[in-house]
Amino acid sequence: MSQHEQEIEQALLRFRPAGPPPGLRSRVLTAAAALPLATTSWRTTTFWGALAAMLLVAVCLNLAADRITRSVANQVGIGPARWTAQAEEAVEILGGGPAARRYVALGLESDPGLRENTVFQSNRGINHE
C-alpha cells in the first residue's frame, strides 16, 4: 500500500456509521401492528376465481355429455332390418372393433340415406381381402 492509501484508510477508520435514531424502532413496530395481517392481492383472487369457473364449466360439460350419451344410447336401437351386409362390411373396413360397430350404428341411425349415399357406395368397388 502506498502512503496515500494508508492515510485514507486511517481517516476512514476514525469514522463510524451512525445508528438509527432511538425512536425509529418503536415507530416501525407501531406502524406494522396497525396493518392487517393477511392481505390478498387481486392476482390471487383472480387466479382462484378463474380456477373455480373452469372447474364449474368442466363439470357442467361433463354432465351435459353424459346426458347426451344416455339419450343417444337410448335412441340408437339398430335392429336387424337396418343392419345389413353392407353395414358389416363398413365395420370391417373401419377395423372391426366395438368402436367401429358403434360408429356405423350411429351413422345408420342419424342419417337413413347414409347407406345408399356415402360410405357404402364408395366402398363397393374396392376388393377387400
Dump pLDDT digits (tens) for 67-110: 887 777 666 655 555 678 888 888 999 988 888 888 888 877 76
Residues 124 and 108 grouped into a single domain: yes
| CA separation for the pair 76, 118 (Å, rounded) | 20
Instruction: Output the nine-digit C-alpha cell for 123.
Output: 366402398
Give the pLDDT confidence of 28-58 residue by residue, as tens digits: 888 888 877 766 677 888 999 999 999 999 9
Residues 45 and 86 grouped into a single domain: no
| CA separation for the pair 129, 127 (Å, rounded) | 6
Which region among 5-14, 34-43, 50-59, 120-129 has the lowest average model confidence (pLDDT)? 120-129
Tell me whether residue 112 is in a domain. Answer: yes
Last residue of a domain, one of 29, 60, 75: 75
Residues 69 and 105 grouped into a single domain: no
Instruction: Give 12: exposed, middle or buried? Use CB within 10 Å, 0-12, 13-18, 19+.
Output: exposed
Tell me whether residue 59 is in a domain. Answer: yes
Residues 63 and 95 grouped into a single domain: no
Residues 71 and 51 grouped into a single domain: yes
- The larger pLDDT score, comparing residue 87 to residue 119, is at 87
Residues 84 and 129 grouped into a single domain: yes
- Identify the H or E element spanning 51: helix 42-75
Residues 63 and 107 grouped into a single domain: no
pTM: 0.32
Tell me whether residue 35 is in a domain. Answer: no
Residues 68 and 106 grouped into a single domain: no
Domain that holds residue 116: 80-129
Give phi and psi for 46, each to the nearest 5: -65, -40
Tell me whether residue 69 is in a domain. Answer: yes
Helix, strand, coil share of the chain (percent; to 5): 65, 0, 35
pLDDT of residue 19: 83
Query: If pLDDT is split at 50, 70 and 90, which confidence band does 113 have?
Result: low
- The larger pLDDT score, comparing residue 126 to residue 87, is at 87
Residues 111 and 89 grouped into a single domain: yes
Residues 91 and 120 grouped into a single domain: yes
Tell me whether residue 34 is in a domain. Answer: no
pLDDT of residue 80: 53
Tell me the mean pLDDT in the region 8-28.
Answer: 86
